[in-house]
Amino acid sequence: MMGAKDRLLPPSIPYRFFVAAVAFHLLAWVLLLVGNDGALGFVGGQGMVLAALHLITLGTLAMTAMGAAIQLLPVATRRPLGPVWAIKLMFILYAPGVALFAAGLAHSLAWAQHGGATLCVAGLALFGGLVGANLRKVDDLPGVTRHAWLAVVSLAGLAILGLALVVDFTKGFLPDHMSAAAAHAVLAGYGFMGMLALGFSYVLIPMFVLGPAVPDAVGRRTALLSGLGLLLGAGGALAGQGLVAALGIVLGLAASVVYLRGMGTSLKKRMKKRLEPFFRMVWIAWAVLPLSLLAGLAPALGAPLDPWGSLWGFLLVFGWLLSFVTAILQRIMPFLASMHSSALGGKPALLSHLSPKLPVDIHLGCHGAALVLISVAFMGGWVWPLRLGLLAGLTGAIAFGVYTVEVLRRYRSHMAAAAAAHQQG
C-alpha cells in the first residue's frame, strides 16, 4: 500500500457511488415492505419484490463494488484505472439506469425496463472495460487479479442473460425463463459480486486487521475452484441439469472453505487484537456464505423452488453479499475520509471520530433480526415473521443511512476546521 495517497481519487468520485448505494439500500427495504404480499413464495415475475431485489443487487451491491474498485484497484495493483471522466460517465449512465429499471419492474413498464437495463449495461460495460484494462498490466497479484478476471467474465455473462430476460418479459422467446434467471443469479451473486468480494478480501481484511497477507497459492486455489464451480453451476442451471449445477455448488463450497481458512489464518496472526465493529457484519457474511450454497443444493437436486429457491436467493443476496458489502462500506467510508482529511495539512481525522457507533449497532441488530425472521418466514410460510423481518430490515437501513450522513458531516466539519486553520497560517 506504499504511495496509496498518491493514487487517491477526488473524494467526490467514490463517495457518489457509496451514497447512491446507501440510498438504494433504503429504498429496497421500503419496496419490500410495500410489496410484502408477494414476498412469500416469490420465485420470479415482475413487481415490487423483483424491483426491490434489483435495487439491492444493482443499486447497493454492484454500486458499492464499482465505487470501491475504482479506488482500491489502482492502489492494490499500483496501476491507474482510467480517466476520471470515464468514471464519472459510468456513474451518470448507471445510477439513473438502476432507478429507471427498478421503476419499470415495479410497475411492469416495458419501456422503463428496456431503457433502464440498457443504461445499466452501458455503465457496467464501461466498468468492466476499465477494470480489464487495469488487470492486463498486472502480473504480480495472482490471488487478487484472477478473481477480478472471473468477476469481469461473469459480468459479461450476467449482462447478456439479464438483457435476454428483460426482453423475454414482452417477447417470450426464451425456452425456459426460470433456468435463464437461475444462471443469471449464479453469475451475478457468486460470479461478479462473489469474486470481487473474495479478491478484495485478500487485500482489505489483512490491511484492516494488520494481519499477514494471504499467500497467493490460496488465492490461486479459490480462483480455480470458483471458476470451475461457476462454469458448472451457471451452465447446469441454464441447461436445466440439476446434477451438474449441484456439482458446481460443491466446488463452490470447497472454494469457500479454502477462502475462509485463508482468512482465518490471517486473522489468527493479526497484530490488531481487538477487531473493529465492522467485523461483526463480516462474521455474519462468512457464516452465511456456505449456508447459501447448501441452501442452493436443494433446488438444484429437485426440491421445490418455494421455499428452497426463495431461501437460497435470500441467503445469497441479503445474507452473504449484503452483510459483506455493508461491512466494507462501514469501514471504507471513514477510512477514505481519514486519508483525505490531511489534504490541507494538519493531523488526519481519527477513524474513531469519523465513525458514530450507535447507528452501526442498530444496523447490526436489525440486519441480523431481519435475516433470521425472513428465513423463518420462508421456511414456514408465515406472514408475521416476514413483516417483522422487513420492518427490522428497514430500520437497519435507516440506521445505516444515518451513519453515512454522519460520517460525511464529520469529515466536512474536519475539513472546514482545517481550512480555517490553514488560512490563519
Could you tell me what percentage of the chain is helix, strand and coil, using 3-state DSSP and rounding each to the nearest 5? 85, 0, 15
pLDDT value for 308: 94
Return the sign of the alpha-carbon dihedral for residues 132, 136, 138, 143: positive
Distances (CA, A) of 112 to 30, 104, 117: 20, 5, 8
Of 171-175, 257-261, 396-400, the poorest mean pLDDT is in: 171-175
Whether 230 and 248 have beta carbons less than 8 Å apart is answered as: yes
- Output the pTM of the full model: 0.95
Whether 14 and 70 have beta carbons less than 8 Å apart is answered as: yes
Per-residue confidence band for 423, with pLDDT thresholds at 50, 70 and 90:
confident
Q: What is the mean pLDDT of the chain?
A: 93
Per-residue confidence band for 252, with pLDDT thresholds at 50, 70 and 90:
very high
Question: Going by C-beta distance under 8 Å and a sequence separation of 6 or more, which residues neighbour residue 178?
Answer: 43, 44, 305
Q: What is the CA radius of gyration of the chain?
A: 21
Question: What mean pLDDT comes out for the span 13-40?
Answer: 93
pLDDT value for 1: 52
Distances (CA, A) of 255 to 46, 65, 194, 203, 258: 33, 21, 11, 18, 5
Per-residue confidence band for 272, with pLDDT thresholds at 50, 70 and 90:
confident
- The predicted-structure confidence for 208-251, as pLDDT tens digits, reads as follows 899 998 898 999 999 999 999 999 999 999 999 999 999 999 99
Question: What mean pLDDT comes out for the span 34-59?
Answer: 90
SS (H, E, C) 243-304: HHHHHHHHHHHHHHHHHHHHHHHHHHCCCCCCCCCCHHHHHHHHHHHHHHHHHHHHHHCCCC
